[in-house]
Structure 1
Amino acid sequence: MSMRRGCLLAALLALAMAVALGVFLRGWFGSGPLEKDASFIVPSGASLGAVSEKLEDEDVIVSARGFQIRARLFGGGAPIKAGEFLIPAHASARQVLSIIQSDDVIRRFVTVPEGMPSIMVHERLMAQPQLTGEVVVPEEGSVLPGTYDFERSEPRADLLRRMQAAMTRTLDELWAKRAKTIAVSTKAEAVVLASIVEKETAKPAERRMVAGLYSNRLKKGMLLQADPTIIYPITKGKPLGRRIRQSEIQAVNDYNTYTMVGLPKHPITNPGKQSLAAVLNPAKTEALYMVADGTGGHAFANTLEEHNRNVEKWFAIRRKRGEL
């Protein structure tokens, strides 16, 4: 009788252990409580314990304690990563740990187009609701145009520093490869001239030619006569929205290259890498003049006589369009 009772107890104990093991494994492999897909942020430097409690608080897992125990047993020892992750609905604890151990963070992006002035860079950063903190308008020409990724709740100041570090790094790299006969003598001057090139042509293929033309003018001590330098003091680089007035052409200030010889005192926008490269390795040309050609590009000329003919062609195009 006692032997039979002992066998029964052993069977019951084995069954209980099997049930407990099943519950334990179901807590790892089974569906979780999350009702719909959701983002989850792992703070930088957070421990597994802190993250487990955060997961429980946000109803991603059932139990922080149970998650920690199972993670240490089955998680393979890989560290959890900081960042924002997308957790699918009803993800198992195993899936959740795998996700926050991966590099598959949610990426958000902000783009600074080539030729965007700093006042508009500032507006774009301040308009991004998933960034935090305040920033002042950055120094003109200090930001490298491009697309930058950021994490949710990242300080705007940190993102701006990365944009400016990219400009410094790119300028250093291009300066080291500069041609010997360029018209500028410092990196700061290169940025100023590149900002004019950036604003003067919408055609990437023209950048080196435009840079060559302005380099020639600088070397000869000629007025650069770049229209964007008239506009910058008026709008800080934003579109003028009307024709330039005669009084603005004649204005004397630190930017207007119609009334001053040489470069403006400061850049007039944030030039892109290709405009910087064009200034530091301009086209070999004798051109001193250019005018729009009706295609979005320019007609270049070595002499004033040739330039005047190109101007007449441009006026004819505008008359045909009804612009004059």
Structure 2
Amino acid sequence: MWRHIVSNFLTVLIVVLVGLGAAAAWAKRQYNGPGPLTQAICLRVEPGASLTRVSNRLAEQGAISAGYIFRAGADYAGKAGSLKFGSYLIPAGASMASIIDTITAGGPSSCGTEVNFRIGVTGTDVILRELDPATGAYAEKVKFIPSADPAPEAYLQESVKPDTRLRVTLAEGATSWQVVEALKQADFLTGTISDIPAEGTLAPDSYDITRDAERATILAEMARRQALILSDLWAARAEGLPYATPEQALVMASIVEKETGVPEERRRVASVFVNRLIKGMRLQTDPAVIYGVTRGQGVLGRGLRQSELKRETPYNTYLIDGLPPTPIANPGRASIEAALNPDTTEFLYFVADGTGGHAFAATLDEHNRNVARWRAIEAERARQPQGN
């Protein structure tokens, strides 16, 4: 009899253990496998929020199948007490494990409201925008120019929230003076800037910023990135280039940056100036002459005068041989690549072609014909009624 009882007990125990094992395997698949979310969402984790509260919100939004599995998995992974406040983009099909990783890793918010402080060649503006998680696109809520407009109330309210993402975006071709003057206007930054960084040494890029970050720290990060880009691309440069140092290549890159806004043209434009240097011809590039006039402090806003083309400055490439002494702007990575790996061409000249790009020529006669076509286009445009 006792043997029968023990046998039955062992049978039940085995069944229970098998059941528990199957349940554990099922829970593991639920935790690590694709989740039920069919469309991306933005999850806001508030300061001091509990894991239970977050799991309930995720369940309500259809991101997880079972809150208790989510909490148990987080506890097993040792992350139950490591929630970081912020707004996080949860993609469709995200597993519970990946959601836990996202909301415990910290860092800038990846969705919700963002302030983008944009430093451009012709000015600086601020955009307050919000990410639509379903489409991945930002919807603009407020836009203003900090040097001319008072900050809108919506900006003042949203920008101070702890999970609002703050970003500084530096456009290719802005000068170091423009960058410094712009950063002085960013109300979410602190500290003074003692010196203007050397021209060309700041990397055009997008920078995630924390509130009250030091302006000098941001400039240092911009300089660090540019130095790394230049070092990497210099090591992979083409042979036979007329540059003795990476700094000279940076000067060329800045000229390429200012000469064309068409990405496909950068290497071709670089080839023209490389060919000119090799042949001992003067570069004759207007953007360098303009830099000699403005010293990078603002935009000229008009064409060059004959007196300026004849004025002797270290940047007047109609009068000096070789490269100017410094870059004339902060070039982006693509322009540095173009300067260090230009196209192989025989081109020595280029002029605008009326489409936003340029017509290139290997001979002066061909160039003169291209110039005549451009003059005709200009004349025709001048005859057009304004507004057409």
TM over 0.5: yes
Q: How many residues align?
A: 246
Partner of 2:191: 133
- Letter of the 1:144 partner, please give it: A
- Displacement, 1:85? 4.2
Structure with the larger RCO, 1 or 2 (CA within 8 Å, 6+ apart): 1
Structure number, greater radius of gyration? 1
Partner of 1:163: 222
- Letter of the 1:221 partner, please give it: G
Task: List per-residue Cα deviations over 1:93-125 (Å, max 9, x = no partner).
Answer: xxxxx9995415443110110111111111221
- Letter of the 1:121 partner, please give it: V
Q: Out of 167, 170, 193, which is 1:112 matched to?
A: 170
For residues 81 and 124 of structure 1, do their structure 2 counterparts lie closer, same or farther at Cα, with a shift above 3 Å needed? farther
Partner of 1:265: 325
For residues 198 and 99 of structure 1, do their structure 2 counterparts lie closer, same or farther at Cα, with a shift above 3 Å needed? closer
Distance in 2 (CA, whole Å) between partners of 1:126 and 1:76 is 43
The 3-state SS of whatever aligns with 2:184 is: helix
Partner of 1:299: 359
For residues 118 and 78 of structure 1, do their structure 2 counterparts lie closer, same or farther at Cα, with a shift above 3 Å needed? farther
Distance in 1 (CA, whole Å) between partners of 2:233 and 2:102 is 40
Task: List per-residue Cα deviations over 1:284-320 (Å, max 9, x = no partner).
Answer: 0000011110111111000001100001000000010
- Displacement, 1:248? 0.5
In the alignment, structure 1 segments of 5+ residues that lack a partner are 1-36, 42-72, 88-97
Partner of 1:275: 335
The 3-state SS of whatever aligns with 2:314 is: coil
- Letter of the 1:170 partner, please give it: I
- Displacement, 1:233? 2.2
Which stretch shifts more, 311-320 or 180-189? 180-189
Q: Out of 237, 244, 252, which is 2:304 matched to?
A: 244
Partner of 1:213: 272
The 3-state SS of whatever aligns with 2:231 is: helix
- Using the size of structure 2 for normalisation, the TM-score is 0.59
Q: CA contact under 8 A between 2:79 and 2:104: conserved in structure 1?
A: no
- Letter of the 1:271 partner, please give it: P
In the alignment, structure 2 segments of 5+ residues that lack a partner are 1-43, 49-74, 89-100, 110-164
Higher helix share: 1
Task: List per-residue Cα deviations over 1:178-228 (Å, max 9, x = no partner).
Answer: 001212121000000110000001101000000000000011111100001
Q: CA contact under 8 A between 1:117 and 1:236: conserved in structure 2?
A: no
Q: Which runs of 4+ in 1 moved over 3 A?
A: 37-41, 73-82, 84-87, 98-102, 104-107
- Displacement, 1:159? 1.1
The 5 A counterparts of 1:1-324 are 85=86, 101-103=104-106, 105-106=108-109, 107-135=165-193, 136-237=195-296, 238-322=298-382
- Displacement, 1:230? 1.0
Distance in 2 (CA, whole Å) between partners of 1:175 and 1:79 is 46
The 3-state SS of whatever aligns with 1:210 is: helix
Distance in 2 (CA, whole Å) between partners of 1:99 and 1:153 is 25
